[in-house]
Structure 1
Amino acid sequence: MKKPAFSKRHLILPVAALLAPQPAHAQVIAVADSGDTAWMMLCAMLVLLAALPGLALRLAGLSSVRSALSAVAGNMGVAASVSLVWAIAAYSLIYAPGDAWLGGSGNLLLSNLAALRDSMTVPESAFVLFQMSLAILAACVVGGAVVDRARTGWMILFAPLWLLLVYVPTAHWIWGGGWLAGLGVMDFAGGLTVHLCAGFSAISLSLIAGRRASGTASGHAPALSMAGGALIWLGSAGSVGGWALGATDDAATAILNGHFAACAAALGWMVLDKALGRRGTATGAISGALAGLAAIAASAALVSTGGAMLIGLAAAVICRGVSGLMGKSVDDPAHIFALHGIGGLAGVLLLPVFVLPVLGGVGFEGAVDLSGAMLSQVIGVIVVALWSMAGTAIAALLISVVLPLRVSPKEEENGLDTALHGEQAWDFR
């Protein structure tokens, strides 16, 4: 199913020119709509808010007190390296004309950007900025799976290779008109392309890195991780609202549905904790909200308000169960796999049901029916999950030839941050 059609607004020639006699071949020149352009740029900044201070604070709070600074430094380093590779090649390999498997070389180093992106009302540079913010978010999410034990330098080298091997093909297959899009796989704002991809990459990386020597004790600053989670909640409005590709009713609907899904998931997680005989926790509430946001991303502008709430509630129940199970076998301090991977998976598979008009959704286009749409979604989930895990393993092993992933046992015991002249400093290594 294609994304919903959005209004196209064009500016016309100045009034004085219109009043003058016009030659027969004169044409109206389409230029970018300033409102839609400003909206896309704002949404990109909101996503970066989630990726940089949001994830940085969340990871710092969930790590040990002697490794918090390294968690923040690694997050920032990943964002920087991914941004450069995005400009050099990644954007072109996703969106430049190519084939069903990969884009072309027409926009390497962001060359040949159009004044107006095809079928949009914004310049291609604004579209590049928004798409880059989503790529940064995905890469930073993956890095959260190995805090407290991964070298900062290793993560900075790994992230751009992961971007090229995993994220770029996935994004092209779905958003760039690739073969999964041709099969009818639906993903409005990244439930599959960002969250599921990052989540399954994270579990692969966690298994390769192994468990922390200190075990899986909770982080040192729950309030800090709560603040980071709240910033991610706020920033997610940019990812779903930006994919409306303009300041339209679809953008407002997507943001509303994202918020409602997060609220339903946060309360559902707390109620489930209580039902299981445990006291509800603040960190549980924000975990539920993040699961709801991952789940609704695939369908934010395509479902009704009630549908969004039910998707969020379902994500809370599923992700809460997976989180409890995975905590005993996989060392993933930020629960990346449970919240983003499983949350995204739940939302992608629930999309065909809640998009039905009888449930208030926008419906399917053409001859697509529920069974056909569900089959497409299942194929998309299987392909992206397997590709993400395999590609992550390949990237991790390649970088490990140059630089080991883990710090030494002694360094891990003492913490990744290094005391230097009375200040905390992180070691690039």
Structure 2
Amino acid sequence: MRALASFPLIAAAIALPQTAHAQSVGVDSGDTAWMILCALIVLIAALPGLALRRAGLANARNGLSAAAQGLGMAATASLAWGIAGYSLAYAPGGGWLGGGANLFMGGMADLREGLTVPETAFALFQMTLALLGVTLIAGALAERARFGWMLLFAPLWLLIVYAPVARWMWGGGWLAELGALDFAGALVVHLTAGCSALVLGLIIGPRERAEGGAHAPLLTLAGSAMLWVGLMAANGGWALGAANDAASALLNTHFAACAGLIGWALTDRLLGGRTSATGLASGAIAGLVAISASAGLVGGAGAMAIGLIAAIACRIVAGMIGRGRIDDPARIFAVHGVGGLIGALLLIPFTPATLGGVGFDPSVGYGAIIAAQLIGIAAIAVWAMLGSAILGLGLSFILPMRVSADEEATGLDAAHHGQQAWDFR
């Protein structure tokens, strides 16, 4: 099965960080500046972008808490990344986890092996992707999860769920050796966060008073626009340098977002409803999520098709979930989980050179390619759900996961007003 890892023709676009740009001999200031810039833009999406989106989608009584919870989770998760997360994902080690060479950011090389950037720049960029996944989960639990519980959950989730998945796909782990592909996070970031949000939503249960949600669509649109730009930076940054691959990934990402917006709007109309502003934003994000799997591997036509198909599928799933027991105010599973899954699958038919993609090694059959991708999707989904369920339930014995009925009825903004705003109740 290890032979499957060799099937892409363009190694620079999808190779493991240890092997990309293998001929580099020193730090390239342009590539370094590009990765740092992309990291900062992704951070804007993960912090103010998603905070505004969560606040706008929440009830008026919970907008502030919905925005702040993700910021708190990002803080504790960032510390976990610096202490052990980066080392577990990218330090020399085995196929399942990295070793301890980079604990507390120690032992960082002046030049990341195989790249043209310092290892600190690479670690910074990877941290912003991890924080994106962490803060996405906050949107699924808004209006009913305890702030203290979320602060404890975030760093443990990063270490136990996210870091191993990053190792498997991007750090030379067993899924990379098998041949599973994920250019910029459709599986590692979005499917992982989406599946985690799904199981945590089932555990915590629906809101008692879900009516009156999405009180500020303008905030939602502003946050979604930041997320649009941030996910473009995530895909462009994964080209690992300021070159043609980065520009191609950016173009494909934007095309997919635009097609996704149109696809969601058309599906809204065909299903008998009206197109909403927040729906347009969700469609664009669905396209952005889906193309993350293949932004540097497909052509423009493939990117448009992927964004369109993914948005239609995500809209249908969102409608189904809206009628069920799962209460996900930010549609994390429907948009990010399903979008990541669809994007990882559509990578296969749209990567061939006949459709403008980079192509596959003709010596490897499509059956083997499909098998590797399906194994990767299944392994990541199961790991995310099991890990999140065990963490969520385990932490609830230490600190209840859900606020009291009185706090929920009053609204978390009012219940946590003043000096008690961010206590650990």
Q: For this structure pair, what is the TM-score category when the shorter chain's length is used for normalisation? A: over 0.9
Tell me how far apart the structure 2 counterparts of residues 68 and 365 of structure 1 sit (CA, whole Å).
50
Q: Which of 26, 48, 52 pairs up with 2:47?
A: 52
Q: Quote the offset at 1:65 in angstroms.
A: 1.1
Q: Is this contact kept in 1: 2:21–2:114, CA < 8 A?
A: no
Question: What amino acid is the match of 2:47?
Answer: L
Aligned to 1:112: 107
Structure 2 residue 167 is matched with structure 1 residue 160: no
Structure 2 residue 104 is matched with structure 1 residue 97: no
Q: Is this contact kept in 2: 1:146–1:332, CA < 8 A?
A: yes
Q: Quote the offset at 1:423 in angstroms.
A: 10
Question: What amino acid is the match of 1:213?
Answer: E
Structure 2 residue 285 is matched with structure 1 residue 290: yes
Tell me how far apart the structure 2 counterparts of residues 285 and 135 of structure 1 sit (CA, whole Å).
26
> Which whole-Å deviations, capped at 9, do the CAs of 1:225-249 have from their partners, x for residues lacking one?
1111111001111110110000010
Tell me how far apart the structure 2 counterparts of residues 36 and 59 of structure 1 sit (CA, whole Å).
33
Structure 2 residue 414 is matched with structure 1 residue 418: yes
Tell me how far apart the structure 2 counterparts of residues 420 and 382 of structure 1 sit (CA, whole Å).
40
Q: Is this contact kept in 1: 2:60–2:213, CA < 8 A?
A: no
Tell me how far apart the structure 2 counterparts of residues 189 and 402 of structure 1 sit (CA, whole Å).
35
Q: Which of 388, 392, 395 pairs up with 1:396?
A: 392
Aligned to 1:350: 346
Q: CA 1:137–1:371 in 2, change beyond 3 Å: closer, same or farther? A: same
Structure 2 residue 372 is matched with structure 1 residue 376: yes
Question: What amino acid is the match of 1:408?
Answer: S
Q: Is this contact kept in 1: 2:60–2:212, CA < 8 A?
A: no
Q: Quote the offset at 1:419 in angstroms.
A: 7.0
Q: Is this contact kept in 2: 1:417–1:426, CA < 8 A?
A: no
Q: CA 1:295–1:405 in 2, change beyond 3 Å: closer, same or farther? A: same
Aligned to 2:357: 361
Q: Quote the offset at 1:425 in angstroms.
A: 4.4
Q: Quote the offset at 1:280 in angstroms.
A: 1.2
Q: Which of 70, 78, 97 pairs up with 1:75?
A: 70
Q: Quote the offset at 1:256 in angstroms.
A: 0.7
Tell me how far apart the structure 2 counterparts of residues 82 and 423 of structure 1 sit (CA, whole Å).
24
Q: Quote the offset at 1:421 in angstroms.
A: 8.3
Aligned to 1:25: none
Aligned to 1:315: 310
Q: Quote the offset at 1:374 in angstroms.
A: 1.1
Tell me how far apart the structure 1 counterparts of residues 410 and 336 of structure 2 sit (CA, whole Å).
30
Q: Quote the offset at 1:217 in angstroms.
A: 4.7
Question: What amino acid is the match of 1:375?
Answer: A
What secondary structure sits across from 1:181 in the alignment? Answer: helix
Q: Which of 334, 337, 341 pairs up with 1:341?
A: 337
Q: Aligned ranges for residues 232-311 of structure 1 at < 5 Å? A: 232-311=227-306
What secondary structure sits across from 1:214 in the alignment? Answer: coil
Corresponding pairs, count: 410
Q: CA 1:119–1:7 in 2, change beyond 3 Å: closer, same or farther? A: closer
What secondary structure sits across from 2:65 in the alignment? Answer: helix
Q: Is this contact kept in 2: 1:73–1:426, CA < 8 A?
A: no
Tell me how far apart the structure 1 counterparts of residues 116 and 288 of structure 2 sit (CA, whole Å).
27
Structure 2 residue 11 is matched with structure 1 residue 4: yes
- State, as a whole percentage, how many aligned pairs show the same letter: 57
Aligned to 2:122: 127
Aligned to 2:404: 408
Q: Is this contact kept in 1: 2:57–2:216, CA < 8 A?
A: yes
Quick check: which has more Rg, 1 or 2?
Answer: 1
Report which stretch shifted further, 187-196 or 275-284.
Answer: 275-284
Q: Which of 20, 39, 59 pairs up with 2:34?
A: 39
Gaps of at least 5 residues in structure 1 are: 11-29
Q: Is this contact kept in 1: 2:96–2:173, CA < 8 A?
A: yes
Tell me the C-alpha RMSD between the 2 structures: 1.7
Q: Is this contact kept in 2: 1:417–1:427, CA < 8 A?
A: no
Question: What amino acid is the match of 1:198?
Answer: A
Tell me how far apart the structure 1 counterparts of residues 295 and 282 of structure 2 sit (CA, whole Å).
19
What secondary structure sits across from 2:11 in the alignment? Answer: coil
Q: Is this contact kept in 1: 2:407–2:415, CA < 8 A?
A: no
Question: What amino acid is the match of 1:343?
Answer: G
> Which whole-Å deviations, capped at 9, do the CAs of 1:51-104 have from their partners, x for residues lacking one?
000100000111111111111211110110010000000100111111111110
Gaps of at least 5 residues in structure 2 are: 1-6, 13-19
What secondary structure sits across from 1:320 in the alignment? Answer: helix
Q: CA 1:274–1:397 in 2, change beyond 3 Å: closer, same or farther? A: same
Question: What amino acid is the match of 1:85?
Answer: A
Question: What amino acid is the match of 1:215?
Answer: A
Structure 2 residue 170 is matched with structure 1 residue 175: yes
Q: Quote the offset at 1:125 in angstroms.
A: 0.3
TM-score by length of 1: 0.92
Question: What amino acid is the match of 1:332?
Answer: D
Aligned to 2:61: 66
Report which stretch shifted further, 330-339 or 357-366.
Answer: 357-366
> Which whole-Å deviations, capped at 9, do the CAs of 1:281-318 have from their partners, x for residues lacking one?
11110000010011000000100000000000000110
Q: CA 1:355–1:66 in 2, change beyond 3 Å: closer, same or farther? A: same
Question: What amino acid is the match of 1:288?
Answer: G
Q: Quote the offset at 1:370 in angstroms.
A: 2.1
Report which stretch shifted further, 207-216 or 102-111.
Answer: 207-216
Question: What amino acid is the match of 1:203?
Answer: L
Question: What amino acid is the match of 2:236?
Answer: G
Tell me how far apart the structure 2 counterparts of residues 176 and 310 of structure 1 sit (CA, whole Å).
29
